[in-house]
C-alpha cells in the first residue's frame, strides 16, 4: 500500500511556529550554533517505495535563518506498487531570510523508480544554500530509474531550471562518455546571494568532473560527478568553502 505524506516547516524570527511530521517524514528540531534554527528530517520508515507520494514544504519568513538537513541517506526502493514514487520539495524564502537545505544523499536502489522535483521561490534579498546528491545504485548494483528537476524563481522571475534522468527508464546515453562516463555519484550545489549582483563568482574548475558556474542572476551552481558518495561530498564541501569561506 502506497503512502501519501507531507511534512511542513515554518520558521520566523521567534522560532518554529509550524513543525508538522507526517508518515515516514519525521521532523525534529535539533541543536544549532548561532542564530540559525535547525530542523533535521529523520526517516520513520522505509520510503520512498513504489507508488509513494512524499513532500516536504518549508517557509522561511522575513529575517529568519533556517537549516534543514537529514539524519541519514534516503533510499529509493522498489515496492509492491509498480507505479513510480514521487518526492517533492517546496521551499519559500522571504526578504532578508536565509535557508540552508543540505540533506544527506538520495540512493537510487536497483528496481526503484523515483521522480524528484525541488521548487524554490526566493524574495529579492533572500539567501539560499541548496545541496543535492544522488548515488546511483548501492554497492555493486545497477541504479533504479531516477528523474530529478530543480526549479528556482527569484523576485518573481526564473533563475534556474535544470534536471537529470538516470537508469533504465531514462533516455539512452545517460551512462555514456558525454554524461556520467561510468560515475555513480552526482551532485549539485546552488548558492544564491544578493551580494553576487555586484561581484558575481567566476567560473572555476573544481577537478576533471566538477565545475562552478555563475548564473544569469546573483547565484552560482556547482555540478559534480564522482566515483562514490565520499568523493562527491569532498568536492561539494570544497566548493561551499570557496563560495562562503566555510564548509
Return the SS3 of 21.
coil
Average pLDDT in the chain: 93
- What pLDDT is recorded for position 44? 66
Which of 115, 11, 30 has the alpha carbon at shortest distance from 70? 30
Phi-psi region of 237 (alpha: psi -120 to 50; beta: other; left: phi over 0): alpha
Residue, of 12 and 178, whose pLDDT is higher: 12
Residue 169 burial (CB count, 10 A): 15
Distance between CA atoms of residues 40 and 18, nearest Å: 14
Residue 1 has pLDDT above 90, yes or no: no
Where do the domains of the chain lie? 4-244
Distance between CA atoms of residues 206 and 212, nearest Å: 7
- Tens-digit pLDDT profile for residues 51-108: 999 999 999 999 999 999 999 999 999 987 789 999 999 999 999 999 999 999 999 9
Burial call 207-232: b when 16+ CB within 10 Å, e when fewer: eebbebeebebbbbbbbbbbeebebb
Q: Largest Cα–Cα distance in the chain?
A: 53
Q: Which grid cell is 89? A: 520539495
Task: Classify burial at 7, counting beta carbons within 10 Å of its beta carbon; exposed 0-12, middle 13-18, buried 19 or more.
Answer: buried
- Cell numbers 564541501 correspond to 237
- What pLDDT is recorded for position 181? 84
Q: What is the pTM of this model?
A: 0.94
Amino acid at each position: 500500500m502506497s503512502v501519501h505524506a507531507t511534512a511542513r516547516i515554518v520558521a520566523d524570527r521567534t522560532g518554529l511556529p509550524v513543525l508538522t511530521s507526517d508518515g515516514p517524514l519525521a521532523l525534529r528540531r535539533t541543536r544549532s550554533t548561532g542564530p540559525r534554527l535547525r530542523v533535521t528530517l529523520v526517516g520513520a520508515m522505509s520510503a520512498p517505495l513504489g507508488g509513494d507520494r512524499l513532500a516536504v514544504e518549508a517557509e522561511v519568513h522575513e529575517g529568519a535563518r533556517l537549516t534543514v538537513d537529514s539524519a541519514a541517506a534516503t533510499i529509493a526502493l522498489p515496492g509492491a506498487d509498480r507505479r513510480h514514487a514521487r518526492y517533492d520539495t517546496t521551499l519559500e524564502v522571504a526578504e532578508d531570510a536565509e535557508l540552508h537545505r543540505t540533506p544527506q544523499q538520495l540512493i537510487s536502489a536497483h528496481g526503484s523508480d523515483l521522480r524528484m522535483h525541488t521548487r524554490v521561490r526566493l524574495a529579492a534579498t533572500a539567501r539560499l544554500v541548496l545541496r543535492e546528491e544522488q548515488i546511483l545504485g548501492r554497492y555493486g548494483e545497477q541504479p533504479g530509474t531516477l528523474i530529478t528537476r530543480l526549479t528556482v524563481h527569484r523576485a518573481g522571475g526564473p533563475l534556474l531550471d535544470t534536471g537529470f534522468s538516470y537508469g533504465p527508464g531514462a533516455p539512452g546515453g545517460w551512462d555514456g562518455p558525454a554524461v556520467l562516463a561510468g560515475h555513480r555519484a552526482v551532485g549539485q550545489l546552488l548558492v544564491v546571494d544578493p551580494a553576487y549582483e555586484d561581484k558575481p563568482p567566476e567560473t572555476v574548475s573544481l577537478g576533471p568532473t566538477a565545475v562552478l558556474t555563475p548564473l544569469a542572476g546573483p547565484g552560482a551552481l556547482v555540478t559534480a560527478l564522482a566515483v562514490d558518495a565520499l568523493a562527491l561530498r569532498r568536492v561539494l564541501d570544497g566548493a561551499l568553502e570557496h563560495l562562503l569561506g566555510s564548509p
